[in-house]
A and B are shown apart, each in its own frame.
Chain A
Amino acid sequence: MIFVRIAAVALLAASLAGCAMNVAAPQASFDGIQAVRAADLPPMTLGSFVPGGSVSASDDRSTTVRAINTLDAPGGSFAGFLKDTLAADLKGAGRLDANAPLTLSGVLTKREVDSTVGTGTASLAADFTLTKGGKTVFDKTLSVSDSWDSSFLGAVAIPDAVNHFTGLFGKLSLQLLSDPDFKAAAHAP
């Protein structure tokens, strides 16, 4: 794990006093673009993406990994990161249009990551709403989860947990763009 080794050097040094980690901006995925193209989804714009349910405003800003290491939400909000991930897929497929009649909004209702030694777990859920001319045509909660072997070494386990957790945002985006109800609602007259 060459990049894990690079990160490990930094993490080992920083772990004495705790460490803040960052995540790069999301980008479109092959599967996400293929899903949009296969469904021939019409252009849409993105509305508000906010925390809700069990996700407090504080939870939306950051999370801890292995107790003392803080993962700051990219752009200051995990709900916003979900919006950015969807924007990347829609833009990548040429279907992001600020003037489109369809507006997609979301409430991030769950965001959990646990890098306990042995098995790490992460999960993400959001309530998505699609409106057309102010009328709701789709409202559904979707969730994704992941699990992985979690090392006893923090320098290995922490980046693993960050990668698996942040990878869920792309999986949730793909799940929405592939959802049969979402596709039907987007095409409804």
Chain B
Amino acid sequence: MTLRNAKSFARIFVVAVLAAPLGACIAPTSYVDNTMPDIAPGHYQAVANPKPAQLLFDFQTKGATNSRAREELQATVLDTVKESMIFVPVSPDPQPGGALVQVTINNVPLEDDAAAKGFMVGLTLGVAGTTVGDGYICTVQYSAGAGATPITKEVRDAIYSTIGATAPTPPHADKAPSMLEAAQRLTHKCVGNALDQLARDPAFPK
């Protein structure tokens, strides 16, 4: 180990030791907004003759593709579309005579100073609590085939994260065990509601 590496590891060790007792108060707690209800299996708009569909999914952070987040939520999106029974079968591969469906979830800040708030919590070692909100714009684009006019549906939802000892619990929101589970719950809710709206559109083939 070189001297430079030794110093780096020493710094990491010191920071880790100092941070360990503070982890509980600095670690964020996630809450999923419950204003928009989730849709249970069997409660989607019924489609008498569901068509096959090729499903694409993109997760964006402030409009730019976030491929790592996309990987984390891809299975949730696929499961939600299958569960809706609005398209049968559903696959990421081209479906002969099938539709093309793109789900896009764009994660946007609800406050411009969210990063600064988090930074302040860190500076006060978690004593100064705060709540920051993440907005999610879920868009479902549907094309029946080449040349067909696409139909687009959009729903919006939010996740709130509390950080620090004095952060207030956000109203109209359900606590999630982890950030990832919060994102999965929100994804199921957003994609399900957007699909339901799509199936209710008069232009959507039933």
Contacts of A153 in B (CB 8 A): 115, 119
Q: Which of A141-179 contact B (CB under 8 A)?
A: 146, 148, 151, 153, 156, 159-160, 163-164, 166-167, 170
A62 to B69, CA, bound (A): 21
Total count of chain B residues near the partner, CB < 8 A? 50
B66-88 contact mask (Cβ, 8 Å, vs A): 1 or 0 = 11111110000000000000000
Whether A5 touches B28, Cβ cut-off 8 Å, given contacts A16-B11, A17-B12, A27-B56, is yes
Whether A2 touches B102, Cβ cut-off 8 Å, given contacts A34-B143, A166-B65, is no
| Count: A-B pairs, CB below 8 Å | 110
Interface of B is mostly: mixed
Contacts of A52 in B (CB 8 A): none
A22-37 contact mask (Cβ, 8 Å, vs B): 1 or 0 = 1111111110011001
A156 to B122, CA, bound (A): 15
Question: Any chain A CB within 8 A of the CB of B159?
Answer: yes
Q: Which of B141-184 contact A (CB under 8 A)?
A: 141, 143, 145-147, 150, 159, 161, 179-180, 182-183
State the Cβ distance, B180 to closest chain A Cβ, in Å: 8
Interface residues on A, range: 35 or more
Nearest-neighbor residue (CB-CB) of B59 within chain A: A3
Contacts of B115 in A (CB 8 A): 151, 153, 156
Contacts of A5 in B (CB 8 A): 28, 118, 161, 179
Contact indicator A163/B182 (Cβ below 8 Å):
no
State the Cβ distance, A158 to closest chain B Cβ, in Å: 12
A116 to B93, CA, bound (A): 39
State the Cβ distance, B149 to closest chain A Cβ, in Å: 11
State the Cβ distance, B105 to closest chain A Cβ, in Å: 11
A40 to B146, CA, bound (A): 9
Question: Any chain B CB within 8 A of the CB of A93?
Answer: yes
Question: Any chain A CB within 8 A of the CB of B62?
Answer: yes
Which residues on A are within 8 Å of B, measured CB to CB?
1-8, 13, 16-17, 22-30, 33-34, 37-38, 40, 92-94, 146, 148, 151, 153, 156, 159-160, 163-164, 166-167, 170
6 A–B contact pairs at CB < 8 A?
Answer: A1-B62, A24-B71, A27-B70, A163-B64, A164-B64, A167-B65
